[in-house]
Structure 1
Amino acid sequence: MSDHDTHLAALQQGNRRPLAGYAATHFSWQCDAGVATITLNRPERKNPLTFASYAELRDLFGALKHADDVHAVVVTGAGGNFCSGGDVHEIIGPLLQLPAPELLMFTRMTGDLVKAMRGCPQPIVAAVDGVCAGAGAIVAMASDLRLGTARSKTAFLFNRVGLAGCDMGACAILPRLIGQGRASELLYTGRAMKGDEGERWGWFNRLVEPDALLADAQAMARDLVAGPTFANGITKTMLHHEWAMTLEQAIEAEAQAQALCMLTNDFRRAYEAFAAKQTPVFQGN
């Protein structure tokens, strides 16, 4: 092995870690052909989150930054519901007993989940049916794409429990998805946004029948995996980072990002396929 190959192998060993075989503890995880599916699976309670599941989700999405065998993620819930938010008995009740440092530890942990979801290069598709409330609405919000059903009900419930609507980035992200006025209404009132309303407002990319929801979300994820996945990761990064840029900064950042993508083999594959009147087969490099 040449010195170049030795150094490349050492670099990859520290920065590329397969996750397809990950064994989840607090939710279900399956991976097929580059598409990972996370299923929140406490259907008897409408799939609430706990301290432990928050932490595992945060760590998993953080690890996805280094995964070279997962190229898109689907997040869904079992039993006809997405997620009812933080578990009333395992999170809400215990929070009343915690002092300020531990409360801040908790709110930072939940915020770190959103940071990890936005920071991983894989596009995330949320498949939302039934109840999607509180932290569940935040997980859907932090995803890149959302498929819903007519019977879905999305509610940012923080106001209903005496808390501010500024939770886990909601005041930053939600207005960018549905507009300031609509976001303000949901965050001030905590009312549920029905499926057809969510589609009309741009919250959902589209509505599908409940029986087809997961299959359609996975099909969307497979389409993303079949595309230029390195370039998709750049697109996600720029969509996130450009929130805080001026137009001039964004145009320059995109010039640099696109020049980088022009160095990829996928860009050459696309050109050669076009010249040969064929469909390109992207490989993510």
Structure 2
Amino acid sequence: MTRSAADALLAGNRTTLATYDAKHFGWSVNAGVATVTLNRPERKNPLTFESYAELRDLFRQLAYATDVKTVVIHGADENFCSGGDVHEIIGPLIDLPMPELLLFTRMTGDLVKAMRHCPQPIIAAIDGVCAGAGAILAMASDMRLSTARSKLAFLFSRVGLAGCDMGACSILPRIIGQGRAAELLYTGRSASGEEGYAWGFYNRLCAPEALLDEALKLAADLVAGPTFAHGITKKMLHQEWSMSIDEAIESEAQAQAICMTTRDFERAYRAFAAKSRPVFEGD
């Protein structure tokens, strides 16, 4: 393949998302930070069939985005997300046959897969209600900032369903431990912001009025770092769950060797030698 052919192939796979026209949630991109706003505050920002699918498709596109380095997801007004809309999702599901129900549960699971596989770190800014599928969105994010008044609840048992929804039985125990995860998934009870922070679900608690600014500042700090290397870190954090220690160490050796070929690695060395702060460019 010639250089020009390779450039054309790569150009066809790259995309910019600053002008993406979201239909079912708010979307903006500023200086490498994308903000997703779940925007149905009158219902505490529930998800619908359409918003599930559009979020899944958007996070898949992020794998090819050149203008997005970090993502912040939050809810409009004083709540994060109340889960799947009771009337627009749960009601219709009662009348669907099993094959169509499986299509739905696979689609919602694909949203979590897309979040875990996109290279950008995802920061969830969580205030108020964070329940059901909203709790899953928070769980699937890489970092979570919250408020003391937040209420985290995996509500599936409350509607006659198992707690094993969208990867919860795999991911949640890795964040807060098996026993604590079992308690939340069996009982469906709410955990306060202080409890979630003490358990390690939240990275920090913020004042409600400062929550989004704190999340955006953290996102900007990540954008200022070696973003290609951040993508490798995210990949390895996810991939090493199913590895032995020996496999993980070898995989990290290979991943780190790849990072050592980047210009950012060279920039860091030259800045150190010049006693200055490196300016990373993500390549």
Fold shared per TM-score above 0.5? yes
**Of 21, 25, 28, the match for 1:27:** 25
Q: One-letter code of the match for 1:130?
A: G
**Which residue of 2 is the match for residue 67 of structure 1?**
65
User: In the alignment, what sits opposite 1:129?
Assistant: 127
1:10 Cα offset (Å): 1.0
Code of the residue aligned with 2:76 in structure 1: it is A
**Superposition pairs for residues 240-255 of structure 1, below 5 Å?**
240-255=238-253
**Aligned pairs for 1:147-166 within 5 A:** 147-166=145-164
> How much does 1:65 deviate?
0.5
Alignment partner of 2:252: what SS?
Answer: helix
1:14 to partner: Cα distance: 2.4
Equivalent in the alignment of 1:213: 211
Residue 8 of structure 1 and its aligned partner are, at CA, apart by 3.6
Q: Distance in 2 between matches of 1:11 and 1:265?
A: 22
SS of 2:198's partner is helix
> Residues 227 and 4 (structure 1 numbering): CA distance in 2 closer, same or farther, change over 3 Å?
farther
Q: CA RMSD in A?
A: 0.8
Other structure's SS at 2:29 match: strand
**What TM-score, normalized to structure 2?**
0.99
- TM-superposed CA distance for 1:4, in Å, is 5.1
CA distance in 1, matches of 2:151, 2:192: 5
The alignment covers a number of residue pairs equal to: 283
**What is the SS of the residue equivalent to 2:47?**
coil
Q: Which moves more between the two structures, 3-12 or 149-158?
A: 3-12
2:71 maps to 1:93: no
Equivalent position to 1:54, from 43, 52, 55:
52
Alignment of 1:78-227 (within 5 A): 78-227=76-225
Structure 2 gaps of 5+ residues are: none
Whole-angstrom distance in 2 between the partners of 1:65 and 1:241 = 16
Off by >4 Å, runs of 4+ in structure 1: none
Give the 5 Å matches for 1:262-277.
262-277=260-275
TM-score by length of 1: 0.98
How much does 1:5 deviate? 4.4
Structure 1 gaps of 5+ residues are none
State the partner residue of 1:11: 9
* Amino acid across the alignment from 2:152: T
Give 1:13 deviation, angstroms: 1.6
